[in-house]
Chains A and B, each alone.
With several copies, the nearest count.
Chain A
């Protein structure tokens, strides 16, 4: 949040925004205030999908509650995991007796709280599976907590959401989620840091001629500074490691997510999308599906992430399946 953010009490921000969001989409979602979660207005008889995490990443996850995607989203405080009990309540609300897929971005707090909630739910006879999303190439390393989860979570939610609507069972969904995650990688760069609510300065400062490369979605530093350059150069710098990590070769088709980190303008994102199309075309790789917009944000951070997901006909078809949520509808 910038100085002069449009909010009341920062401690009430998440609760008030959840209320305002639900009131803005009454045909699609309902809010529960305490414990806080957002649930589909029209529950369906299928395996339920629940996701969540810290707030500040909107429209993730609340924007993706609805037919063909999530059944319930659980927002934590800004950049903090929801609590185990909050998640358990979400699981209870979501379950239709067919089990619940928990889509979890790989962060210590989320893993812990979703894991605990899953155990608590199991004790109540609710079956769950955790789909851990860890797509952020910037944090790939031998030991440590592993790659962070970022924008690929969107693909997991969309594609598994579609499969669930078609009657896939919990095991099939968990397997599908794992396949998507292993086929997807993301890299991000920031052209300006974000400012946490209540703070008066951004989490880091950049010189006019540099960008922060390999950032996550919590305002933390990336893996290094790079010279600022044209959209063409910066897009290539993001795309090449993804192509290499996924081993993508000529003739393959991908889904590309060009994601704004919060304060990035549509003209910029469309430019990056264009450069990505060009760059991949130069390697014989076609972007046959894409999502360009600010979907997984880090408050008011500037910059973008690029996610590539290797497509096969099944994934493409599930991606194309109808979806009807506040932030994604087709």
Chain B
């Protein structure tokens, strides 16, 4: 498949929301071990709002706008950053969504988050999953791999990026205050990004 449509984008987001809501306990536990323990709550309130916003929406841009707005109405550090991240998807996505669209969206999105949060890869944040996923999408688009394959590769890259945070010391966010205590704890933001790309693949 060269591109996918609004319904598929909507299904992707629905799967993402369902997975995350299913695993907020686990995500909160990670934030508790290396942060302030409200990550799951922040996420749940954003996603609850997203569901309301999404009602009936199936246009790709509109779907991501709905999610972005929900996050921009949410507190915590993750809320506004995810809000601006998803916003770049909304801006780039016009139906049908191709591998090139995905690469542009994810590239711009990671850049916005990096600019706002001032985090580099290796600082143990969501950026550690966002950047490799964007790079994988860019590489896939350059060889016209098609969106399905591109997203599978992005998911793998995001997953590896998220796992890499486990052994890092945090340099940004609240986890940076706890020093060595954060080592051994995967960054919940990065894990959420991995869940997002994993949800793309049926």
Asked whether B9 is an interface residue with its Cβ less than 8 Å from the other chain, the reply is no
Asked whether A206 is an interface residue with its Cβ less than 8 Å from the other chain, the reply is no
Q: Mark B63-85, 1 if CB is under 8 A from A, else 0.
A: 00000010011111101110110
Asked whether A13 is an interface residue with its Cβ less than 8 Å from the other chain, the reply is no
Instruction: Judge whether B117 and A84 touch: CB under 8 Å.
Output: no
Q: How far is the CB of B71 from the nearest CB of chain A, in Å? A: 9
B:166-202 near A, CB below 8 Å: 173
Instruction: Judge whether B72 and A83 touch: CB under 8 Å.
Output: yes
Q: How far is the CB of B82 from the nearest CB of chain A, in Å? A: 11
Asked whether A113 is an interface residue with its Cβ less than 8 Å from the other chain, the reply is yes
Asked whether A80 is an interface residue with its Cβ less than 8 Å from the other chain, the reply is yes
Asked whether A150 is an interface residue with its Cβ less than 8 Å from the other chain, the reply is no
Query: Count the A residues whose beta carbon is within 8 Å of the partner chain — how many?
Result: 17
Q: Which residue of B has the minimal Cβ distance to A81?
A: B75
Q: Which residue of B has the minimal Cβ distance to A109?
A: B77
How many chain B residues sit at the interface, stated as a range, is: 10 to 19
Q: How far is the CB of A307 from the nearest CB of chain B, in Å? A: 26
Q: How far is the CB of B73 from the nearest CB of chain A, in Å? A: 5
Chain B residues with Cβ below 8 Å from A112 are 77, 80-81, 116-117
Asked whether A108 is an interface residue with its Cβ less than 8 Å from the other chain, the reply is yes
Q: Given the complex of chains A and B, what is the CA–CA distance between A85 and B79 in angstroms?
A: 11
Instruction: Judge whether B80 and A84 touch: CB under 8 Å.
Output: yes
A:116-145 near B, CB below 8 Å: 116, 120
A:71-101 near B, CB below 8 Å: 76-77, 80-81, 83-86, 88
B:69-103 near A, CB below 8 Å: 69, 72-77, 79-81, 83-84
Chain B residues with Cβ below 8 Å from A120 are 72
Q: Mark B106-122, 1 if CB is under 8 A from A, else 0.
A: 00000000001100000
Asked whether A115 is an interface residue with its Cβ less than 8 Å from the other chain, the reply is yes
Give chain B's interface secondary structure class: helix
Q: Given the complex of chains A and B, what is the CA–CA distance between A84 and B77 in angstroms?
A: 11
Instruction: Judge whether B77 and A85 touch: CB under 8 Å.
Output: no
Q: Given the complex of chains A and B, what is the CA–CA distance between A327 and B111 in angstroms?
A: 42
Q: Given the complex of chains A and B, what is the CA–CA distance between A112 and B80 in angstroms?
A: 7
Chain A residues with Cβ below 8 Å from B84 are 84, 116
Q: Given the complex of chains A and B, what is the CA–CA distance between A86 and B117 in angstroms?
A: 19
Which of B69, B72, B77 gathers the greatest number of chain A CB atoms within 10 Å?
B72
Q: Given the complex of chains A and B, what is the CA–CA distance between A241 and B81 in angstroms?
A: 37
Q: Give the contacting residue for B75; candidates A35, A77, A116; CB below 8 A.
A: A77
Q: Mark A1-42, 1 if CB is under 8 A from B, else 0.
A: 000000000000000000000000000000000010000000
Q: Give the contacting residue for A109; candidates B69, B72, B75, B83; CB below 8 A.
A: B75
Q: List 22 A-B contacts (CB under 8 A).
A: A35-B73, A76-B75, A80-B76, A83-B73, A83-B74, A84-B72, A84-B73, A84-B83, A84-B84, A85-B69, A85-B72, A85-B73, A86-B73, A108-B77, A108-B173, A109-B75, A109-B76, A109-B77, A113-B80, A116-B72, A116-B84, A116-B116
Extra inter-chain contacts (13) besides given A84-B72, A109-B75, CB under 8 Å: A80-B75, A83-B75, A83-B79, A83-B80, A84-B80, A84-B83, A84-B84, A85-B73, A88-B72, A109-B77, A112-B77, A113-B80, A116-B83
6 smallest CB-CB distances across A and B, nearest first, come from A84-B72, A85-B72, A85-B73, A84-B80, A80-B75, A83-B73
